[in-house]
Amino acid sequence: MLKSNLLSLFLLISFLALNAQNTKSDSGAIANKYNLTLQHTTLVVSDFIISKKFYTEILGLKDLNATWLPKNQMFLSLGNNLELHMGEVPGIEIKPSKFNHFAISTNDLEGYLQHLKANNIMYSSLGGSKKDFIQKRPDGVRQTFIQDPDGYWVEINDAN
């Protein structure tokens, strides 16, 4: 179920990105007409307490305090009306791939990487084959990757 949800999310993001570039197609016109944007994604985690600490204290995301949520679930703010929903759901198998990821941007990549290192979070290439790796994308944005406690990949970049 989680794999299909992540695949669906990846396909949706790919669809929206493709249509943003190709507004001549009917589906692109519809996406533009209704101003479709990604507002949140959800991660199922194996240990809520450990993941909550990682996402709030290490990554520094703000807990939106949605008190009506079930136990061991939370909404986190990524700014600009973007959210990460996170929770522990019994019976869900967590199997992150080496490709699926989401990205967080910073205006101080070097400073943020120092913060991560001070908290024993190492960065690498996607998949982890190259440690302490930062690359420049074709658009000039520098990026690197970290993993959360369940092995989900998080891109850290300077697109801000």
pLDDT in tens, 50-70: 999 999 999 999 999 999 999
Using CA atoms, how far residue 140 sits from 65, 76, 91, 158, in Å, is: 36, 28, 42, 9
Predicted local confidence at residue 16, as pLDDT: 53
pLDDT in tens, 104-133: 999 999 999 999 999 999 999 999 999 999
Q: Is residue 125 within 8 Å of 134, Cβ to Cβ?
A: no
For 154, the enclosing helix (H) or strand (E) is strand 153-157
Which residue type, as a one-letter code, is found at position 8? S
CA–CA dist 88, 103 (Å, integer): 21
List the structure tokens of 59: 């990554």
pLDDT in tens, 136-160: 999 999 999 999 999 999 999 999 8
Residue extents of the structural domains in the chain: 97-160
- Answer CATH for 97-160 from 3.30.420.40, 3.40.47.10, 3.30.720.110, 3.40.470.10: 3.30.720.110
Packed helices 26-33 and 2-21: angle between N→C axes, nearest 10 degrees: 100
